Structure 1
């Protein structure tokens, strides 16, 4: 084989390796994981500011990142047959065969285990919160309820609130009322994030054999759940900011962001269109990011 042919082979192998790494990375859903980590960091800073323990924060967030990412990979393994049946998810690495199920299991299990080990090095309470998040997401939501009940998001949604609670515990060392409020705010936000997507892709979920709220209880019921969850969730997070006495400007911004989300949720309830539903889905993630940034910087500026 000549030098040119060898160069071509090496370039091809390098490209294949890069594609494989990117496929593994996509299994962790970086955007979703990143948003959950923002809630954890925000809860930590809200509690610890102005004195931050950088090594503890880095260790705790690393533990969460590994546990969340590993859990997400394992969820992908369990859902690979569903994903293969839906246009929205058929291009994911497992249905496309870019990563094997065994490779994904090794990756997910290794990351989850490493995350739990790191969490245990911090404290038993922090480990319990991180472990609860993993358990509710992987076992209760994905393995048990997702294919059986449209109410799975209510129970599985608990896992979405665990990173925020973990961030509070990381700083405080225990579970308290504000930590529960932060977690509850995220849990109540889940319908705006999940049910809007389920409404948009209800037929695909139905064809894949997954019972989702809009298909089982009707879109009107789903819109009500979204509106109620959005209003209550924004009120709870604003109340947490008020209780922690964050800077007034940040508190006003937090309330304003909540008002925008609530107006969109009510718009979807009273004027249901695909455009309004999709706008709410996009706004929901932006709200959660903005809300915890307000809590984070509001705490720093106030102290």
Structure 2
């Protein structure tokens, strides 16, 4: 299938799938360019699709949507700019927030959606969901205090790294490693995962950042590690926490990471905190296809009354 390499071609992709709109997300095995997207290249499966589909199914079950994962956020952002520039109503771009709001980089369109936190991982993972997954896996009650203490320790020890990450993001750089991010976490089959403070200390020196500088910036901007920590790092920390508890306490030797992520998203759908529910309901129901459907339904109801 081939599409015209213009914004009109992008807008008309919905016609080839007989859907109300095409939703582009990050993720998948291949990272496609915007030119590839015009030619209908995309990843059929991605964890990001699972996350966003859950939200659309929850808040807009009347819409018929086609989901496409395109790999990098840069490509989704390029699609978002096309949506904004050409007022495209049949395409939706959904992506991680990262620190875009902090630097006023978000694309302004009701058809461009962002996660509430840095990424979907930040919105999904918390102590309650971690405990619930472990209890489902084991059929046993889990010591919630142990889980809470480990997670709180992680956040208290990573927070300066998150502050530094936010500062460097403004210069299109990062502090926490995007490749090999687990270098800053001690992961062992014999102990809870925990941050390596000496690794973060070395990163501060390498980047010429002062502790007083990053603390002032982070506190002024109201940055917190739950919402703003690099998503892959947070996700992998929770994976290793679940793995440790499973191995040592529950005697479950194998934990599949992909399955765990799917379980976490399903739990999030069931246990979504109120602030998350309100946020996602607002942005999903505010998309143009959803508003158009509601207006059409209202007109039909009025016509037959």
TM above 0.5, yes or no, is: no
Give the number of the structure whose residues are more often helix, by fraction.
1
The alignment's TM-score, normalised by the length of structure 2, stands at: 0.29
Give the number of the structure whose residues are more often strand, by fraction.
2
The alignment's TM-score, normalised by the length of structure 1, stands at: 0.29
